[in-house]
Amino acid sequence: MQSLDPQVEEKINSWLHGNYDEETKAEIREKLDNEKYEELTEAFYKDLEFGTGGLRGIMGIGPNRVNKYSFGMATQGFSNFLKKNYPDEQVKVAIAHDCRNNSEELAQVVADVFSSNGIHVYLFDGLRPTPELSFAIRELDCHGGVMLTASHNPKEYNGYKAYDEHGCQLVSPQDQMVLEEVQNIDSIDEVKFEGIDENIESIGKEIDEKYLDALFELSISREEIQRQKDLSIVFSPIHGTSGVLAPPALKRYGFNNVTYVEEQMSFDGDFPTVEYPNPEEKEALSMALDKAKEIDAELVMATDPDADRVGIAVKDNHDKWVLLNGNQTGTLIINYMLNAWDKADKLSGKEYIVKTIVTSYLIDRIADHYDVDCYNMLTGFKYIGELMTELEGQQQFIAGGEESYGYLIGDHVRDKDAIVSSVIIAEMAAYYKDKGSSLYEALQNIYLQHGYFRERLVSVYKRGREGAEQIKQMLKNYRENPPEKLGGSKVITIKDYKTQQAKNIKSGDTTAIDLPESNVLQFITEDGSIISVRPSGTEPKIKFYCSVNTDLGNRANYDKKTKQLESKMDQIIEELTS
């Protein structure tokens, strides 16, 4: 083992001589015998840590991999945290899982560990969407919960999302406190793997019905839906959990002409029909689009495996199918909801919407128009959920979202919800059709009224330990040598969310940023372009978010202005990544 780092070698030996199963040890020995040192290093050089999406990684052996031991350690640490924080109560948790390989077995491991610690466990009787897990925590007055999913990551991944008593993913300082509890476990022998059956209660249909009832209460345009109930919709769960609840939710809303992509209705962790089960990727919607063209549908929707993100496609003014990005869909949802609340005279001055700092600032303009507060949070829906909890009883949440295709309408959960998003998107399509318009035309009308915004996300992958160092160095360079111009326009403000300072370049003055520390840089130019740079919290990549805008003037300018804005983004991305 001379080619291995001493610390890696020490961790490997602890697994070989520790209380781990023989199958795991045999796999380690096989890799050692075949000198697979790089694989072993990646699997053992660190422990999985909580990021913006919780605990997430590639399945396999080792502390930096998803397996029953990494999940067992996480659950024992979470159990210790819960018992310390609720010493005089019967602690209760809810657990759900998605369609990923090993999810069902890992969910049972998590349930067993909780139950062995004297915690009452509500375990879903089959796979369920992430938002329903958040709903169940609130509905059952739990102290926490766990969702087993790797969201939209490739099939090799799985993950562990830890939730608090409000149904929100853990935020600081709780996430660090749980992590410290995990790190305080000296040996796998401290993990109580032997389950206590009487502490585990199966849940399912009753929670499904309550969740669907809550979604139906959010419907605004019921008369329009009734008139447009034959709206032709194509829907795909991409082999994931929305296949459980999206069909009954759409039916309950009144849509009776929904075509499901049969090849993708099977629950399959190998995701055999797509390269990545990510609705942000065009390829993931290709089968749904083919079906839509075949039957001449009017709307296409597809969700990720745990049903917290949704991607859509609509027809443009030339009857050509186009994919909307997350900013565009979020803009449509926010505009639709605020307009509906305004027409119903429900805006009292205490309502608000929420987005992230890397999501379109067109949404801020729409909120300003309706005189509704718009809060900008750090990336990660847990920060939106945290704010919702803080403002509960003081202000009324209407909707929120982030550019990565995650939205929430209503306050029934504290996480992004692709099920409620899908029914509201379908409702929007019916509403605009009833008015002789379309979602695409509605988006253009927003641009005409509030300004034409175009956004783009570019991700640069840097894998492994070396890649992590490269990402760190890139951010260091941007901080030490920030660009003076981007896209031909002077950089006038630099926001560094790590130092929590915003600097005016001309005056040199700085102001505090009232958000938690985060490794994000934002460059704002004289012409209103906003470029954000951050490392991903769940994948080995650095992300560049580019937002540019202009006045559209009239519809005739749309194609010309689009080319101008796209060209400007090309230039900005080239300047930052070359």
As beta bridge partners, residue 532 has 522, 545
Model pLDDT, residue 540: 80
pTM of the model: 0.94
The secondary structure of residue 54, as a DSSP letter, is B
Task: Give the CA distances from residue 270 to residues 102, 274, 281, 492, 565, in Å, rounded to whole numbers and listed in that order.
Answer: 11, 9, 17, 47, 38
CA distance 573 to 563: 15
CA distance 511 to 513: 7
Model pLDDT, residue 421: 98
User: What's the distance, CA 469 to chain centroid?
Assistant: 25
CA distance 144 to 132: 14
- Written in H, E and C, the secondary structure of 414-435 is CCCCHHHHHHHHHHHHHHHHHC
Model pLDDT, residue 53: 56
Residue 513 exposure: Cα atoms within 13 Å on the Cβ side: 24
Task: Give the CA distances from residue 78 to residues 65, 130, 144, 318, 341, in Å, rounded to whole numbers and listed in that order.
Answer: 18, 19, 9, 54, 40
Going 477 to 478 to 482 to 486, the CA torsion angle's sign is positive
H helices, E strands: number in the chain: 18, 23
C-alpha triplet 237, 240, 242: angle, nearest 5°: 55
Looking only at the bridges linking them, the beta strands covering 521-525 and 530-535 are antiparallel
Looking only at the bridges linking them, the beta strands covering 92-97 and 144-148 are parallel
Angle between helices 326-343 and 439-450 (to 10 degrees): 80
Looking only at the bridges linking them, the beta strands covering 120-124 and 200-203 are parallel
CA distance 168 to 452: 34
Domains of the chain: 46-209 (3.40.120.10), 226-450 (3.40.120.10), 452-577 (3.30.310.50)
CB atoms within 10 A of CB 312: 27
Q: Is 489 helix (H, G, I), strand (E, B) or coil?
A: strand
* Residues in contact with 8: Cβ distance below 8 Å, sequence separation at least 6, in sequence order: 40, 41, 44, 45
Report yes or no: 312 and 329 within 8 Å, Cβ to Cβ.
yes
- Catalytically active residues are 151
Q: Splitting the chain (578 residues) into consecutive groups of 10 residues, what average pLDDT does each group show?
A: 81 94 96 93 87 78 95 94 97 98 98 98 98 98 97 93 96 87 90 98 98 97 98 98 98 98 97 95 97 98 97 96 98 98 96 98 98 96 96 98 97 98 98 98 98 95 83 93 96 98 96 95 98 84 96 95 97 92
CA distance 145 to 119: 11
Closest CA to 78 of 143, 122, 166: 143
Looking only at the bridges linking them, the beta strands covering 299-303 and 200-203 are unpaired
Residue indicated by tokens 């605020």: 338
CA distance 1 to 34: 11
Length of the chain: 578
